[in-house]
Amino acid sequence: MYTAKGTLDSQASIEQYLPMVRRAATRMVGRLPANVELDDLVQAGVMGLMEAMQRYEAGHGAQFETFALQRVRGAMLDELRGTDWVPRSVRKSQRDIAEAVRVLEHRLRRAPSDSEIAKQMGVTLEDYHDMLVDVRGAQLVYTDDYEADDNDTHYLDRHVEPDASADPAAKLSDRRFREALVAAIEDLPEREQYVMSMYYEHDMNLKEIAAVLGVTESRVCQLHSQSVARLRARLKAW
């Protein structure tokens, strides 16, 4: 499995780790709009896997699976970035929803309902729910991809100008931000708290969450997107 230099024999190993690439692609595409093709992510992930095999050296502490998964995800994110997978209209909808939530929470001093948000935006409830589905996955970054070895470059290193004040990883390490995030999550409506917990903490997919809550997958998607909009509105200052 290893060469004389301690690096992985890619020809002997690549097939062994292809299921890992497909699992990562399947998990990622499940959080993205329907226009993103699974095969495109798998192809990009394979390139990341091959790069990981070339760069990995045994005995440096990290397990190869952990090392490779980081680069597989980074390659997939590079592919998404390069194809501009989120239309401008979706990004605008995301901003508009967050702004409507912010305005209403300031005015009402509570979490606004779906119908109140729709009215604030001047759209029908049905159209608002469609927007929630469309914006699903508009922001997709793994915290693992913020970490890099010495002299290494990842997705964020290549696409974001160095700025400690704007570094999401640095913000997450800030105790005040973590406390604000926890407080914002605790202020979410109860059902939305359940969705966030099951989705992120327990790594459940939309179908599984829908079965627990007794609603459709589409409704779970709407609840998730609305939760994210609330959190974006409340943490805008950060």
Q: Is the pLDDT of residue 154 over 80?
A: no
Q: What is the mean pLDDT of residues 51-68?
A: 75
The Cα 49–Cα 43 span in angstroms is 10
Q: Is it the case that residue 170 has pLDDT exceeding 90?
A: no
pLDDT at 96: 92
Residue range 10-23, pLDDT digits in tens:
555 778 888 889 88
Quickly state the pLDDT bin for 143 (edges 50, 70, 90): very low
What CATH code is assigned to 88-139+174-234?
A: 1.20.140
Q: What angle do CA 29, 32, 36 make, to 5 degrees?
A: 70
Domain residue extents for the chain: 10-85+143-163, 88-139+174-234
Of residues 7 and 87, more confidence is placed in: 87
Residue 56: predicted pLDDT: 77
Tell me the average pLDDT across 178-205.
87
Higher pLDDT, 21 or 136: 21
Q: Which of 102-111, 168-177, 211-220 shows the lowest per-residue confidence on average (mean pLDDT)?
A: 168-177
Q: Which residue has the tokens 């913000």?
A: 171
Whether 104 has a pLDDT exceeding 90, the answer reads yes
Q: Left if phi > 0, otherwise alpha if psi is -120 to 50, otherwise beta: which for 51?
A: alpha
Average of per-residue pLDDT across 190-195: 92
Give the mean model confidence (pLDDT) for residues 109-121. Answer: 93
Instruction: Quote the strand ranges of the chain, DSSP E.
Output: none
Q: Residue 238: what pLDDT? A: 59
For the structural domain made of 10-85+143-163, what CATH number should be given?
1.10.1740.10
| pLDDT for 181 beyond 80 | yes
Structure tokens belonging to residue 149: 């070895």
Considering the entire predicted model, what is its pTM?
0.56
Residue bearing the bigger pLDDT, 34 or 209 = 209
pLDDT for 77: 82
The pLDDT assigned to 161 comes to 44
Give CA–CA dist 2/175, Å, rounded: 42
